[in-house]
Amino acid sequence: MSVQLFVPGETRLHEKRVALVPAVAEKLLKLGIAINIQPGAGGAARIPDLAYEKAGVNVAEPPADVDLIFRVQPPTLAEIEQMKPGTVLCCFVYAHREMPIVRALRDNKITCFAMELVPRITRAQAMDALSSQAALAGYYAALLAATNLNRILPMMTTAVGSLRPARILVMGAGVAGLQALATAKRLGAIVEGYDVRPEVKEQVESVGGKFVDTGVSASGAGGYARELTSEEQTKVDEVLTRHIQNADAVITTASIPGRPSPKIISEAQILGMKPGSVIIDLAAEGGGNTPLTEPGDTVEVGPVTIVAPLNIPSHLAEHASELYSRNLLALIGLMVKDGELSIDWDDEILAGAVLTHDGEIKNEAAKKAADTTPGE
């Protein structure tokens, strides 16, 4: 019997993505997976039911016996209660923010693969949903900078003289930061990139940016940056303050999975920025990279406008859904053999990405949090 996949519509506020697009559905069908998608699930991403039907997908409510569920956001507690034990669920969870959900997945014996836990190794690049969504966020950040400034980005020559190009500083040269740099450069700005990991200098320069070198390295495990000590931060601040206060726009991208976003721009640095300057804070989901950030809002503080959008990929729902769907296809390719679900727990990708299985929380950080956080 074929693996039964169900793709529900997303129910969280402002979530426009869908976990499956028709082009990827066709490839899943070839793997021997039978697909049901909830009517209207792709509507917010402007993907009509008819497009799924043409791809061979059954547009209907879930069948009685679902083996596999694709989602973007985690399910509700009520939805988890309706899942049969052993169901395989693939979605973002962010366990540190969703402890009641994690406990419910454990207690209902759901095998949940949390997409944010996919290991950052070469073999898993096609499954790295964090990176695919971050690339879109970086692109959008450059557009937000352009539309929130009271000036243009490129140099422009007119009959009455020339206008100088804007200066944009991107703090954090990960996937989002590099895409922000590349997009701002294409829009004509003078771009600088800063990262506490000096080894990314070549990457910054490869997209047209000038690397801001502070002489401090903070390379951390798993491809992420570690938090700086107070002494290191003081040294970095001395260099960065000059660049921050010379910029027309600053885009911040620093985040640490499972922890609050680090504060990488101080209130004093912000108040010393040029009148009309803008900060685009891409770390708002974790509280923001400045002490004055208000997640989800745009605020004016002294001379600066701080823009702190939430769930940026959802604003680009069509392409965000397409990339996320491809990530899921690559991941499920490790689990489906001869038309049946067959999970190899010796596979480092699957072992690293699993959050809950067979009544246990498998991720150590999530397990520790579940044991120490009071139940709700």
Catalytic sites, residue numbers:
120, 125, 128, 131, 224
Cβ–Cβ under 8 Å, residues 19 and 42: no
Cβ–Cβ under 8 Å, residues 216 and 238: no
Q: Please state, as a whole number, how many other Cβ atoms lie within 10 Å of the Cβ of residue 335.
A: 20
Sign of CA pseudo-dihedral 230, 232, 235, 241? negative
What is the greatest pairwise CA distance in the chain? 74
127 vs 152: CA distance, rounded Å: 37
Q: Nearest-CA neighbor of 27 among 337, 325, 317, 340?
A: 325
Cβ–Cβ under 8 Å, residues 363 and 96: no
Number of C-alpha atoms within 13 angstroms, CB side, residue 265?
34
Distances (CA, A) of 132 to 20, 49, 116, 135, 325: 15, 25, 11, 5, 10
